[in-house]
Amino acid sequence: MSSATQGTDVAVIGAGIVGIAVAHALATRQGVARLVLLDPAEPMGLTSAQSGENYRNWWPHPVMRAFTDDAITLLEQFARDSGNRLRMTRRGYALATRRAAPEDLFAALARGYGEGADARIRFHDGAGAAYRPAASADWEAAPDGVDVLMGAALVRAHFPSYAADVETVLHIRRAGDISGQQMGAWMLERIRAAGGRVLRARVRGIGGGAPFALDLEGPEGRATLRADRIVNAAGPFLGDVAAMLGEELPVQNVFQQKIAFEDRAGAIPRAMPFSIDLDGQHIPWTEDERAELAADPAARHLTLPMPGGIHCRPEGGDGGSWVKLGWAYNRAPSYPRAEAPPMVPHFPDIVLRAAGRLNPALDAYVGRLPRGARHYGGHYTMTPENWPLIGPMRTPGAFMAGALSGYGTMAATATGALCAAWIADAPRPAHADLFTLARYDDPALIAALRADETKGVL
């Protein structure tokens, strides 16, 4: 990187999956060839590297459902265009509960799917129209909508690994998993082919207005990059970049963890959908373990009632042998530090004990994780209502694409397309304004969104 001033039409700050998606949409949809992706690390080397790599179109609000439907449509287009470099599969999301006929969940389904919900939601109680499980992981052959299975016998017939007390399963069908790293690599190839560049550099400051003068620090020293427009796609550093412009964004970072390991005991069927236990629980500690945890102020909360949301899925497709487990129970904000993430050493034991409540065969791994197991995590960057920030910032010429807490990989395609449309002043979907700071001008909307306990966090 030369110390001389360089210039570009658009500088995208952050080369995670969202920044890459914005640059890809600018290059391939809006014809912007002079663009630079800036990141001090390798592309997709921080939060994007810790992605669960799942996608779903279920949300408790129709705006977010429409947004993720748009994202999945683009994911499907990318899968076709790339010869499925994305490794896209679709076995769905299975949301499990021990509650019989949970009317609040049914109402949330109907609210989320909005108009036409009756045609998309199918109820099964053992009579009438038969439930059709996924014959394969082929995303093109999978149905849309939601299948609701009611009754323990019906649930066990189709989900034999689940505990016998599960009464209801909401099977979201337009859902599955992809390889986020493969999708990012494919988009980067297309960005470079269109004339875009990736520059290994940290943004130390931003001067002026449009055009902006970005003070960069890279392997070869300091340099200035002149950019007519900038995009803040800095992931967990979204607020830091905003502060360089004298702005404050309503975001915080919450660290969440996962584990992955080889399922040598065959505890999880390879055809099982991404499964989420919706019910809260007490983690089943022994009496001695519970007493020890209760005596530690930092760990006492683990003896109290814990929220639902433990999730599990096979990893590596039908022929694979690994599983992933996660549980986004942490609520405490923290500052992101790549060199020292706030890992909880006993998290694998916590999530395994909790996950065994839905899939009891996982109990075989408590205290006996196979060698080579991965314990990792990343920050969920989120607004209080858990909706993203996409579009213009208050500073003219500056745009943002972020606050996609835990759903950045699945929603990157729609985020990139929407942010690029804002930059190019191109047509945008009806919900575009709701993802900008303008939504905070509607106190009734914000109050309603923040009153939702789940906010779509899984």
**All structural domains of the chain with their residue ranges:** 6-53+180-251+383-451, 93-174+259-327+346-363
Of the candidates 7, 1, 455, 18, the residue with the CA atom closest to the CA atom of residue 232:
18
d(CA 301, CA 283) in angstroms, rounded, equals 11
CA 378: distance to chain centroid? 11
Residue-level pLDDT at 3: 45
Residue-level pLDDT at 128: 57
Residue-level pLDDT at 412: 97
* Class of 6-53+180-251+383-451 in CATH: alpha beta
Residue-level pLDDT at 127: 64
Residue-level pLDDT at 316: 87
Residue-level pLDDT at 338: 66
Of the candidates 52, 53, 40, the residue with the CA atom closest to the CA atom of residue 14:
40
Please state, in angstroms and as integers, the Cα–Cα distance from residue 362 to each residue in 73, 269, 314, 349, following that order. 34, 11, 12, 11
- Identify whether the C-beta of residue 175 lies closer than 8 Å to the C-beta of residue 56: yes
Tens digit of pLDDT at every position of the chain (458 positions): 544 568 999 999 999 999 999 999 999 999 999 999 999 999 998 887 778 899 999 999 999 999 999 999 999 999 999 999 999 999 999 999 999 999 999 999 999 999 889 999 999 998 656 888 887 899 999 999 999 999 999 999 999 999 999 999 999 999 999 999 999 999 999 999 999 999 999 999 999 889 999 999 999 899 999 999 999 999 999 999 999 999 999 999 999 999 999 999 999 999 999 999 999 999 999 999 999 999 999 899 999 999 999 999 999 888 899 999 999 999 999 998 766 778 888 999 999 999 999 999 999 999 999 999 999 999 999 999 999 999 999 999 999 999 999 899 999 999 999 999 999 999 999 999 999 999 999 999 999 999 887 777 77
d(CA 160, CA 153) in angstroms, rounded, equals 10
Report the run of H or E that residue 277 belongs to, with start and end: strand 274-277
pTM (2 d.p.): 0.95
Tens digit of each residue's pLDDT (9 = 90 or more) over 305-342: 999 999 999 998 888 999 999 999 999 999 987 667 78
